[in-house]
Structure formats: structure tokens, C-alpha cells
Structure 1
Amino acid sequence: MHAPGFADLLTDAVRRHGVPSRALSVRTLLHLPRLARPNGTVSRTQVIAELNRNAARLRRDQRDIESLIPKDKFDLTDLRFVRVPSSDADQIFSNLHYLRSARAGSLNFALVDPVNLLPVTLCSVSPLEWMKVGRQLQTQFDVPMQAVWDVSRVYSFDVAPVNAISYLLAKVRQVVRREVPGVQLLTTAVDPNLGFTGSSYRAANWQEWMSIEARPYLYVDSVYASPRQLRTRFGGANLSELRKANPGGRFEQSRAKLLDSLIFCCRVKGETEPVPAASRRRLRR
């Protein structure tokens, strides 16, 4: 998708609205495909409007959990690794993560500041539910799906030091190895359409093992909704059926072609072997 002058427009919106740059960037990139033409282009006016709309919403979301937002910066070595209560993690993920939802039944871990003990960088891990990825791991790597857990959410505040995510991932791997019997592999999905490259996973010695075809982003009332969220709210995720049952144009999907999601993996014990590009499978939806 081509968004004209996005970086400069983002900088201007951050300055005017006083919101975190990274969070606003990801939210806006998630919503621009709703407006993009089939060739992936959007106008400057559309970009500005989406930045303003998402900035206003981000400010409201921040106010809702202001007591959980860290303000002070600390060195990485000063942060403490802890398990986070679901009550706190769910609030952060449901308000500030770009998906605006927490994964039920997850274990949540964070690096917290040493003074107020507020999460600076946090993530959730839970048993893998993505059947297509699980089958490929079984077939190609002989890892049964029940032995795979997924890093389903990651959020890092702007005050987080460099390498906080990769440091947190390394700590989580150690805990899973010690305390979760039977888990052989950790996985995660990286969406390059939102500006993610997987650099934090690579820094933590994860490897890209496969990719999966992107499906269109879905929206309800101009706000992104995952298939899981649609099933929870409306009983299904089929757009045609939802439009019939709920007339009025509430449901939309992106039209531009999206980049594939990248599946990164990390063995819980031992080294994680790289997979040559020629051997990485592209999974179809």
C-alpha cells in the first residue's frame, strides 16, 4: 500500500495530538486499507483524516488506563521481569494494542520499571490455535500442534529501552522451558503491512520458518475487527452473511492486495535452525 508522505504526516499528527508515534502509526496503517484503491494507493487527505481519527481514539484509550501507563525511562538492566496479572494485561491489550483485544487464557509477562512496577514491555503466550500453521509444523518439522505455544500479543510503550522486546522474549522462553511441560516450540505472526519486520524476534534468535497468505482486513463501522472479534460479537465472520443479517453498510473489507504474514518460530530447547528461503512454505488461506 502506498501512503504519500506518511512519515512526515505521522510526525505532524503526533506533535499535534500528543500520542505515541509507534502506536499511532500501527493503528493508522491497519485502517488505511479500508480506504485504499485496489492498486493500494490512498490520497494525502485520506491519510491525514485517518491519522487524526486514530489519534483521537488513541488518546481516549490512553485516558481509560492512564494509571497503567509508564512515564519514566529506565535502562534495560534496571527493568524487572515478572508475570503480569490478567486484569492489568487485558486492560493494556484491549485499549492500546492495535487489535484492541486480549487473548483469553493467556499467560502474561512483562518487563516492569523498578519504581512504580508498571509494565514497560509485555506479551502474552497461549497454546497455538492456528490450525493451518499447526499442521505445517507437524508435517514439515515434526512438531505436534499440542506442543506449540503462540506469542499472541506484544505491546511496548514508547519509554521502553532499545532491545526490550527481544530481552523479554528470551526471558519468556526460559520460563516456558521450566514451567510449561511439553511445549517444544514458540511461534508468532508478523504482519509487514503494519510496518513490522520481525527484527525483535530475530534479535532473540527466532527464525522465519514460513509465511501465510494475507486475507483482507475486516471493519465494522469503519473500525478494524478481527475474525475472532466478529464471531464473538455477531456469531460469524462471513462478510456476505453479516451484511444480509445487519443491513446498513456497517461491514467492509480492504480491497488492496496485502503482504503475507511471516511466521517466526523459536525452539524452547536448543538452537532454532534457520530455514532457507527456498524451503519456506507459503500457506494458502
Structure 2
Amino acid sequence: MVISAAGPAVPAVVPPPPVPAGPASPVDRLSLDDCRRHAPGFADLLADAVRRHDVSGRALGVRALLHLPRLARWDGTVGRPQVIAELNRNAGRLQRDQRDISKLIPKDKYLLSDLRFVRLRNAEADQVFSRLHYLRSARPGSLNFALIDPVSSLPVTLCSLSPLEWTRVGRQLETQFAVPQGATWDVSRVYSFDVAPANAISYLLARVRQVIRTEIPGAQLLTTAVDPNLGFTGASYRAANWQQWMSIEARPYLYIDGVYVSPRQLRARFGGANLAELSRAYPDGKFERSRARLLDSMIFCCRLRGETIAVEPAERRRLRR
């Protein structure tokens, strides 16, 4: 009881005991940015899908990020049930892809110093890229290189190179950096298995630079496009002394029946990449494009001879599509 100076005693106000905090309820929607950063909301769902389907977490994460923009609203958010469904759908496809080339998947881990650098046969490289790379395709006519394990000779980390076909990038390289058209080779595919040791990609890139410099005298520059929408940051390229020289405007991702397809793949398969025209010509197919804003791709470069200069952000050109 509390005694009041102005009158009779009044009951004391006793605060209720604190309610123990329960687990936080999951958010209804996840942003694409949180998914790219593997924030806890997405990371937990990814880990659950990996456990249930027994697939590579790194490969599944990239595939999911490639397909989530199809479902995202204009504000860049995706419903949590949609994320779960997309992870499971892509995990099922990845599981089948892994099973199809199980004989080419290395199981044992080795030190980086134990791996051997080789020119990889197209037959092996094409199988890996067409099944496990997120684009699920190999670039025809490429040179393929790999780090292979010393026992089974299976590729642990591999990449493919081909002459740069991106005309807009080639013109900018010539105008701004005096690299002649036709003197640039593009790293068009990279894939690293989960057993690969740290720094395997950067080491492979350094060895590839040595080979191209020796075997292709007219080549002056290596380039690659890094897509941050898939969670890539370019860290392996920076570790190999590559520099970001420019960026290029993002274009919407394209899909057929819910599966990503590149403009190159559309042209090869249908003779064109205009979705409106394809929808009219092939009414049984479902052609879609992403709606949410995507991040620009980063163009990394490495000179084959001499130092690759750093380009300050203010001096990096943003190329239009």
C-alpha cells in the first residue's frame, strides 16, 4: 500500500512481470539485397534446402539469385514462401545436374600447391559448364584451363576464355585505354567446386595469364564481367591483380517457363531475343523478364604485359546497353 499525504491509502501499482521473449517471427518478404548478402533470413533458408537436397550450397545460392528476380516486385522484395519454393525447385534441378556428371565431381580436398595446372579438354569442360555453371551452358570455341587434383585428375577449379565479343566494351577499351579491337580475350566461364582450396580461382587466373601471354602474342588484355546480382564481388579477380575499369548497365533477366535463359541462348534457340515477338510465335511458352531494378555488372581487366592500372571510381565509365 502507498500512503497518500492528501488522503487515504491507495493500492500500489505493481508492473506486470516481463514476458519472456520468444523467437522472432520470420519476415514475410525478403529483399534481393538481403539475399545477395546472404543475410540471416535467406542464409537459413538456403542452408535448409542444402541439407534436404544434398547439393552444393555455393552453386544453389547463385542459381537461386539468378531466378528470384523473376518473382520480385518493383521494390525488389520477394515473398518468403516464394523464396523457399524457388530454393527447392533449383535444388532439385541442381541435384539432377550433379547426378548427371557425378564422375567429374571431385570429392577430396588438397592443398593449392598439390593441384596441377592443365589445359582442359573441351569434352570435360563443356560437361561441367553445361550442368553446374549457373548459366548451364559452355561458350563454343573456348580455351579451357583447370586446376586438377593429383590423384584422380578431376578438375577442381576451371575457366574458359574466348575472344571478346562484347562490341561496346571493346570500343571503350580502345577509346579509353588504347587496347586495339581484337586484342582482348574474355574469361567467359569460371566454376570452382566446394572442395577447392582458398585462392584457387585467383591462382588459376594468374597461370592463365602466363599461358595466354606466351601462346597468343597479339593478345593484350583479359576481361570479365562480374554480376553483383548473383552475390559476386570480384574478390578473386582483385586477388589476381585485376582492376575494375568500367561498369555496364544491367538488363532484365529473361526466363522461359520459369527458367533463366540468356539472350545468346534465346537467339541460338529461337533466332531472336525479343520476348514480345517470341510470345506471339510460341504461344505455348511462357516468356518473362525481371521487373526489379538490377545492379550494374562490373568489368574487370588485366593487362597481359606490364601493370594493370587502377581506375578511380570517378573515372570509370558506365556503358549503356
- TM-score, normalized by length of structure 2? 0.88
1:174 alignment partner in structure 2: 210
1:201 corresponding residue in structure 2: 237
Q: Is 1:38 matched with 2:110?
A: no
- Residue 276 in structure 1 maps to residue 302 in structure 2: no
Structure 1 residue identity aligned to 2:305: K
Q: Secondary structure at the match of 2:294?
A: coil
Q: Is residue 122 from structure 1 mapped to residue 177 from structure 2 by the alignment?
A: no
**2:266 counterpart residue number:** 230
Match of 2:227 in 1: 191
Match of residue 14 from structure 2: none
Q: Give the secondary-structure state (helix, strand or coil) at the position aligned to 2:136.
A: coil
Choose from 96, 104, 108 the match for 1:60.
Answer: 96
Q: Secondary structure at the match of 1:59?
A: helix
Hey, what does 1:151 align to over in structure 2? Answer: 187
**Structure of greater relative contact order (alpha carbons < 8 Å, 6+ residues apart):** 1
Shift of 1:181: 1.8
- Bigger Cα Rg: 2
User: How far, CA to CA, are the matches of 2:105 and 2:224 in structure 1?
Assistant: 25
Displacement, 1:206? 0.1
1:198-222 deviation per Cα after TM superposition (whole angstroms, max 9, x unaligned) = 0000000000000000000000110
Q: Distance in 2 between matches of 1:109 and 1:94?
A: 16
2:166 partner letter:
W
What percentage of aligned pairs have identical amino acids?
Answer: 76
Deviation at 1:144, TM superposition (A): 1.2
Distance 1:235 1:159 in 2: 39
Q: Deviations over 1:173-229 (max 9, x none)?
A: 000001012000000000000000000000000000000000000001100000000
Q: Distance in 2 between matches of 1:178 and 1:119?
A: 23
Q: 1:69 aligns with which of 94, 105, 113?
A: 105
Q: Which runs of 5+ in 1 are unaligned?
A: none
2:291 corresponds to 1:255: yes
CA distance in 2, matches of 1:138, 1:245: 39
Residue identity matched to 2:264: R
Residue 18 of structure 1 corresponds to 54
Distance in structure 2 (CA, Å) of the matches to 1:98 and 1:244: 28
Distance 1:220 1:44 in 2: 23
Distance 2:170 2:162 in 1: 13
- Give the TM-score normalised by structure 1: 0.99
2:182 counterpart SS class: helix
What is the distance in 2 between the residues matched to 1:33 and 1:75? 37
Deviation at 1:249, TM superposition (A): 5.1
CA-based RMSD of the aligned residues comes to: 0.8
Secondary structure of the corresponding residue to residue 78 of structure 2 = coil
The separation in 1 between residues aligned to 2:126 and 2:69, in whole angstroms, is 27
**How many Å separate the matches in 1 of 2:165 and 2:301?**
15
Q: In the alignment, what sits opposite 2:8?
A: none
The AA in structure 1 aligned to 2:223 is T
Distance across 2 between alignment mates of 1:117 and 1:12 = 32
Name the aligned partner's letter for residue 151 of structure 1.
V
Deviation at 1:248, TM superposition (A): 3.7
Corresponding pairs, count: 285
Residue in structure 2 matched with residue 213 of structure 1 by the alignment: 249
